[in-house]
Amino acid sequence: MFQLDTVLRSHIRSLTPYSSARDEYTGKEGIFLDANENAYGSVTTEAYNRYPDPHQQAIKERLAPIKGVRPGQIFIGNGSDEAIDLLVRATCTPGQDSILILPPTYGMYEVSAAINDVPVIRVPLTPAFQIDVPAVQAAVQPHTKLLFVCSPNNPTGNLIHRNDILTLLDSFDGLVIVDEAYIDFADSQSFIALLDQYSNLVVLQTFSKAWGLAALRSGMAFASEELIRILDKIKPPYNISGPTQQLLLQALENVSGKNEMVDRTLARREELIGNLLNLPLVRHVYPSDANFLLVKFDDPRAIFDYLISRQIIVRDRHRVRLCEGCLRITVGTGQENEQLLSMLKAFYETVTIGA
C-alpha cells in the first residue's frame, strides 16, 4: 500500500501554511476590514477590490460531478504548469531526488525539475512512441519520486497504452503523473476513474486546450485528498484570480459548448490528415489522439521557414530525438487548414520548378 509520506519532503509534511484573511473568516456578509483591501472599489469598470476564494470552492463543487470525483480530490492551478511545479517541490529535495520522464514529451516536466535543481532520468519512448516498461523499471532509482506520463503525448499525439501505465502504477514506489491535457480529443477513458484504486496516481488536465481558455491560465490536478491538501498548502494563497474563477464557473455551465468545439476540431483533424497525405512533400502523418498532428517532411526546416514567411506558424520539432524531420501542426479552423495546405502546395511548386 502506497504511503504518501514516503514521497513527501519532510519539511513539506510538517509545514504550517499561510493563513489568509479569507481562511480566518469564511462568512460572506459583513464589513470587511481584515485584508487591507481598498474599501472604495477599483478604478476599472468592474470591481476587483476583494481577494478571491483561495480554495476555489464553487469551481470544485461544480467540477466534481462533471469529472466524477469528490471536490477534495481537485486542485486548481495557475495552469497545469503550476501543479507540475508544486509536485516537484513537494516531493523532490534538490540535488538528491529525481524525476523520470519519457521523451519526446512535454518540455515543462524537465524545466520544472531544472528550476528546482532536481535531476531528470530520461527513458525514451519506443519508435512507436510507447513506453519501454522494462527500461523504465530498470532506470528507476531509490530516490526517484515522480514519473511523468503524457497521454495523449505531446508532441507525438498518441495515447500511451493503458496497460503499460497500469503496470507502472503497480510497480513504481513514487507518484505516477498522467498528464491528460489532450484527453478530450481522445477516444479513451480518463485515468481519473482509477483515483480511488491508486493512491499514487495524479491526473493533470487543463482548461487551455479543449475548453479554449489558454489565456486564463488554469489547470486541474486530480489526486487523493491527502495529496491535494499538500498542494493546497504550498500553493500561493490566491493562485486563481477572481475574474478567472468567475469565467471558469461560466465555462463549466457550458460543457456541451466545449464538446461541440472538440467535435469540430476532430472533423477538421481527419480532413487535414487526408489532405496532407495527398501532398508529395509529406512523408508521414502520425496517428493523432489530440488536436495536433506530428508530420514528417523531407525538408522540415525549409518548410518551416517558408511557412513563417507566409505567416503560418507551426512548431519545429525536427531536432527532437524520434521526431526527426517532423513539424507539429495544430489543427486550425477549416479556413486556416486550407491556407496551410495551399502554402505547402505553393512551396512544393517553388522547389519543383526551381529543380
Interface with ligand PLP, residue 148, by CB under 6 A: no
Interface with ligand PLP, residue 177, by CB under 6 A: no
- Provide the minimum distance between the beta carbon of 206 and ligand PLP in the complex, in angstroms, as a whole number: 3
Interface with ligand PLP, residue 81, by CB under 6 A: yes
Stretch that binds ligand PLP, among 76-84, 118-126, 293-301, 343-351 (CB under 6 A): 76-84
Interface with ligand PLP, residue 106, by CB under 6 A: yes
Interface with ligand PLP, residue 219, by CB under 6 A: yes
CA distance 184 to 210: 6
Interface with ligand PLP, residue 239, by CB under 6 A: no
Nearest CA-CA partner of 142 in 98, 111, 180, 94: 98
- Provide the minimum distance between the beta carbon of 265 and ligand PLP in the complex, in angstroms, as a whole number: 14
- Structural contact between residues 131 and 324, judged by C-beta atoms closer than 8 angstroms: no
Q: Considering CB under 6 A, how many residues would be counted as binding ligand PLP?
A: 13
Stretch that binds ligand PLP, among 53-61, 89-97, 125-133, 201-209 (CB under 6 A): 201-209
Interface with ligand PLP, residue 79, by CB under 6 A: yes
DSSP string computed for 109-177:
HHHHHHHTT--EEE-PPPTTS---HHHHHHH--TTEEEEEEESS-TTT-PPPPHHHHHHHHHH-SSEEE
CA distance 96 to 123: 19
Interface with ligand PLP, residue 104, by CB under 6 A: no
Interface with ligand PLP, residue 337, by CB under 6 A: no
Nearer to ligand PLP, 80 or 337 (CB): 80
Q: Could you tell me the strand order of the sheet in which 74-77 lies?
A: 74-77, 219-222, 201-206, 175-179, 144-150, 98-101, 120-122
Nearer to ligand PLP, 4 or 150 (CB): 150
End-to-end CA distance of the chain: 65
Interface with ligand PLP, residue 179, by CB under 6 A: yes
Interface with ligand PLP, residue 129, by CB under 6 A: no
Stretch that binds ligand PLP, among 169-177, 208-216, 309-317, 326-334 (CB under 6 A): 208-216
Q: Residue for cell digits 519520486?
A: 145
Sites of contact with ligand PLP (CB under 6 A):
79-81, 106, 150, 154, 179, 181, 206, 208-209, 214, 219
